[in-house]
Amino acid sequence: MSLVLGIESTCDETAASVVKGGKEILSNVVASQADLHAVYGGVYPELAARRHLEMFLPVVQEALITAEVKPEALDLIAVARGPGLIGALLIGLNGAKALSLGWNKPFVGVNHVEAHLYAAMMHLPSVPLPALGLVLSGGHSFLVKIEELGRYCLLGTTVDDALGEAYDKVAKLLGLPYPGGPELEKLAQSGDPSRFPFTSGRVKGRPLHFSFSGIKTNVLYALKGQNCSKEAPILLEESDKAHVAAGFQEAVLRDVVEKTDLAAKSFECQALFVGGGVSNNQRLRHLLKERFHSLPLFFPQKGLSSDNAAMIAGLGYHIFKQSGPSPIDLSPLTRFPLDSIDNQVNHGG
């Protein structure tokens, strides 16, 4: 069981990839829908599902052609069963099931958030454990203790927005195009964070939990005036926008670094793995490297931080080895199974 076709369609990327032995990426095709959703300033779920349907077969075909692998040679089809948008998930999951039946190959559903962490391990010959996992994406923000692949213990999560979502919303307030995270990072580079010293949220009694909705409101008031609406015009000088962006970024990233440090000290942590779209952020990488100079720190290789199918194929290889195929009636998972993460991330049934 070595050649795995991975399929990803949880949000606004249709992706397919062929990975050998859980590690060697033979192809990694990503069709982004960012252009489609840009006019709405966020993902439009119905349009996302339709675009997945259009792109599913062309993307799978391109992944196979680039990898120079014929369907007969595949050993397994791995698909992200969630969490994600229901319409989008149904296209990928049902598409994977159809290919599995048509090509007579087993299939396995994997957890997209877990795959974001696997993306940071993929290139390693062996994984030091137990380790701390930090996932920062558009839909999720998690700190987990990784006991082994498939076995995690939740240490902290967000009580409101995910970090990527907060970046996107603040970017929108600043008038930046969607998706705003990378744009905000760019703008912040020319700003002085001390001009707008925001603070990120704390959750009473839960020192490892995140809260990013309060700072978002503070940015809104700084830009447009106290108690204003989101639609109000920006009152600040154009040149101040970079300072606001830098102040926001510095506050949320320092908060993430503090809580990650606290989490790492809560057990015999051997390494830190960081994944998800926000792990593209160079300021985050710098601050983490600065703080954790003695703890091995791993980020995804190029092209594996944001949504992709190589991480799905790679993780699928291991999950299949551990637990075998998923049932053909496997259901999509729209939300993260928080009640089950303390023991096991839900892959089947």
Residues in touch with ligand KG4 (CB under 6 A)? 11, 137-139, 164-165, 167-168, 179-182, 185, 276-278, 280-281, 306-307
Q: C-beta of 213: minimal distance to ligand KG4 in Å?
A: 15
| Binds 168: which of Zn ion, ligand KG4, none (CB < 5-8 Å by kind) | ligand KG4
**For Zn ion, which is the closer residue by CB, 137 or 141?**
137
Distance, in Å, from the CA atom of 93 to the CA atom of 107, rounded to the nearest integer, reads 10
**For Zn ion, which is the closer residue by CB, 137 or 211?**
137
**For ligand KG4, which is the closer residue by CB, 164 or 314?**
164
Burial per residue of 184-199, b for 16 or more beta-carbon CB atoms within 10 angstroms, e otherwise: bbebbeebebeebebe
Query: Residue 205 corresponds to which tokens in the numbers above?
Result: 């009694």
| Binds 164: which of ligand KG4, Zn ion, none (CB < 5-8 Å by kind) | ligand KG4
**For ligand KG4, which is the closer residue by CB, 49 or 269?**
49
Query: Residue 131 corresponds to which tokens in the numbers above?
Result: 């380790």
| Binds 180: which of ligand KG4, Zn ion, none (CB < 5-8 Å by kind) | ligand KG4
- The residues, ordered by sequence, that sit 6+ positions from 46 with a Cβ below 8 Å of its Cβ are 87
Q: C-beta of 13: minimal distance to ligand KG4 in Å?
A: 7
Q: C-beta of 85: minimal distance to Zn ion in Å?
A: 12
Within the chain, residue ranges assigned H as helices are 34-38, 45-67, 86-103, 112-119, 163-173, 180-188, 213-224, 240-264, 282-291, 310-323
Q: Rounded to 5 degrees, what are φ and ψ at 179?
A: -80, 135
| Binds 130: which of ligand KG4, Zn ion, none (CB < 5-8 Å by kind) | none
Q: C-beta of 102: minimal distance to ligand KG4 in Å?
A: 28
| Listed residue (339, 332, 328, 345) closest to 100, CA to CA | 328
Distance, in Å, from the CA atom of 238 to the CA atom of 52, rounded to the nearest integer, reads 38
Residues that bind Zn ion (CB under 5 A): 137, 307
| Binds 185: which of ligand KG4, Zn ion, none (CB < 5-8 Å by kind) | ligand KG4
Distance, in Å, from the CA atom of 18 to the CA atom of 280, rounded to the nearest integer, reads 23
Q: C-beta of 275: minimal distance to Zn ion in Å?
A: 8
